Copies of this chain bind each other. A is one copy, B any other.
Amino acid sequence: MTMMLDRAGEAVANNNEMSMGADEEFVRIGEMARKYGVTLRALRFYEDKGLIAPKREGSTRLYSPRDNARLKLILLGRKIGFSLRDVKQIMDLYDPSGPNTKQLRLALEKSEKQMSRLQKQRAVIDEAVAELSSMMTTVRDQLAERMPAKAQR
């Protein structure tokens, strides 16, 4: 039942760089997790799926601002119901030196499909709600019948 993340300490204690160079922009997995409200497992999972690739310091992951941006995109994708595969396909098209037209087109295409899926889902849910509430009425009535004129709660 422990589905919470590690609840890391302030992670201020662990800082290997004595030089304190201009690399405060890199954060480790724990901070990343807290920052975005995801678990360590999730971050490693995304990496495993090729969605993000933090640099390493030994075996420790270090996330750059760019990695932050990628994670934001991942989470946005999840929020709108994209699968990780979808997100990856779109991200894979990213080219820092170009208009990224293809990427944008794919994103738009997938978005349209997702939009219609969402509409359908909502329709299904609405139907379910309708059925359910009519059923509840029926059940309540039946319960009422089976009860002497007592408190109806």
Residues of chain A touching chain B, judged by Cβ–Cβ distance below 8 Å, are: 76, 79-81, 99-101, 104-105, 107-108, 111-112, 114-115, 118-119, 121-122, 125-129, 131-133, 135-136, 139-140, 142-143, 146-147
Complex Cα distance, B108 from A147, in Å, reads 15
Interface SS of chain A: helix, strand, loop or mixed?
helix
- Pick the contact of A146 from B99, B118, B126, B127 — CB < 8 Å? B99
B79 touches A139 (CB 8 A): no
Q: Report the minimum CB–CB distance from A8 to chain B (whole Å).
A: 28
Q: Report the minimum CB–CB distance from A89 to chain B (whole Å).
A: 15
Complex Cα distance, B143 from A112, in Å, reads 15
Chain B residues near A136 (CB-CB < 8 A): 108, 111-112, 115
Complex Cα distance, B136 from A115, in Å, reads 10
16 contacts between A and B (CB under 8 A): A76-B131, A76-B135, A79-B131, A80-B131, A101-B147, A104-B139, A105-B143, A107-B135, A111-B132, A112-B136, A115-B132, A115-B136, A118-B128, A118-B129, A121-B125, A122-B126
